[in-house]
């Protein structure tokens, strides 16, 4: 798999994301990862008639300090399904790995490869798998593990000799993943205009109201709008001055 970087210069212009695909699968660690990461792009893609499904490694049960996991998990699942619906995504699946202690390894690769075989996407989306967010802010082990496993599972899903037990579940090999797009990477190479999907993205992030209220004293709608305006504006100078959702794109 090769990265789609234009140059190593921080001022390099971002390329538009490929558009010659129909199905995508987004695989991330937690509820809210996609809403913080790339939901404006998802909304615009669905407006164009593309199909996108979500797969989450956990239910986010360890994400709210004031709620015990047994209470937080079902609540965050409900919020995630509502947030997906806000951008037009109807398929949301959970792999039930433990929040906060996801381990990179065979089990995770197998589960993601199974999801790829099940949904048969051309574009696989995941979250930043690098050790940091690029500004001295350490990434979490869950994000790193799921991102790395998704990159590996794109190839695993197409090899009939890796995880042959999946065939017994009628999950035939799928070698049709053409790209893996890493949202919120500190090394973005490509972008999607955020303006068409921005209002849906704000509404989608707002569905995680319990999480936002535990995270910030700011009014949730003000918080969601400010965060997404800031994040989509961060790289606009590299994308023709347009608000942008950025990705590090790997081609297969």
pLDDT bracket for residue 84 (50, 70, 90): very high
pLDDT at 11 (0 to 100)? 59
Beta-bridge partners for 94: 56
d(CA 232, CA 35): 12
Q: What is the pLDDT of residues 31-61, one digit of tens each?
A: 999 999 999 999 999 999 999 999 999 999 9
pLDDT band at 112 (very low <50, low <70, confident <90, very high): very high
d(CA 226, CA 211): 16
Q: For the chain, what percent of residues have pLDDT higher than 70?
A: 96
* pLDDT score of 7: 41
pTM: 0.94
Q: Is the separation of the CB atoms in 149 and 182 below 8 Å?
A: no
Distance CA 93, CA 29 (A): 12
Domains in the chain with CATH codes: 20-251 (3.40.50.10320)
Q: Counting beta carbons within 10 angstroms of the beta carbon of residue 99, is it exposed (0 to 12), middle (13 to 18) or buried (19 or more)?
A: buried
Half-sphere exposure of 191 (CA within 13 A, CB side): 27
Lowest mean pLDDT among 1-10, 70-79, 141-150, 210-219: 1-10
Per-residue pLDDT tens digits for 179-192: 999 999 999 999 99
**Cα–Cα dist 92/71, whole Å:** 19
CA nearest to 180, candidates 233, 111, 129: 129
Site of tokens 């789609």:
4
């Amino acid at each position: 798999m090769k990265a789609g970087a234009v140059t190593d210069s921080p001022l390099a212009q971002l390329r538009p994301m490929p558009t010659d695909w129909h199905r995508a699968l987004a695989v991330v660690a937690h509820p809210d990862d996609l809403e913080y990461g790339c939901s404006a792009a998802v909304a615009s893609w669905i407006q164009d008639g593309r199909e996108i499904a979500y797969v989450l490694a956990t239910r986010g049960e360890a994400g709210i300090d004031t709620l015990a996991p047994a209470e937080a998990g079902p609540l965050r699942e409900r919020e995630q399904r509502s947030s997906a619906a806000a951008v037009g995504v109807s398929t949301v699946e959970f792999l039930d790995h433990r929040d906060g202690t996801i381990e990179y390894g065979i089990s995770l690769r197998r589960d993601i490869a199974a999801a790829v075989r099940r949904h048969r996407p051309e574009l696989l989306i995941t979250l930043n798998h690098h050790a940091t967010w690029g500004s001295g802010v350490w990434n979490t082990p869950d994000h790193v593990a799921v991102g790395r496993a998704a990159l590996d599972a794109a190839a695993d899903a197409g090899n009939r000799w890796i995880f042959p037990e999946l065939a017994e579940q009628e999950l035939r090999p799928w070698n049709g993943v053409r790209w893996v797009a890493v949202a919120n990477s500190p090394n973005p190479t490509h972008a999607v205009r955020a303006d068409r999907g921005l209002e849906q993205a704000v509404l989608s992030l707002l569905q995680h109201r319990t999480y936002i209220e535990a995270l910030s004293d700011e009014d949730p709608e003000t918080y969601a709008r400010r965060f997404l305006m800031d994040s989509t504006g961060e790289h606009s100078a590299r994308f023709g001055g347009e608000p942008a959702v950025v990705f590090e794109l790997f081609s297969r």
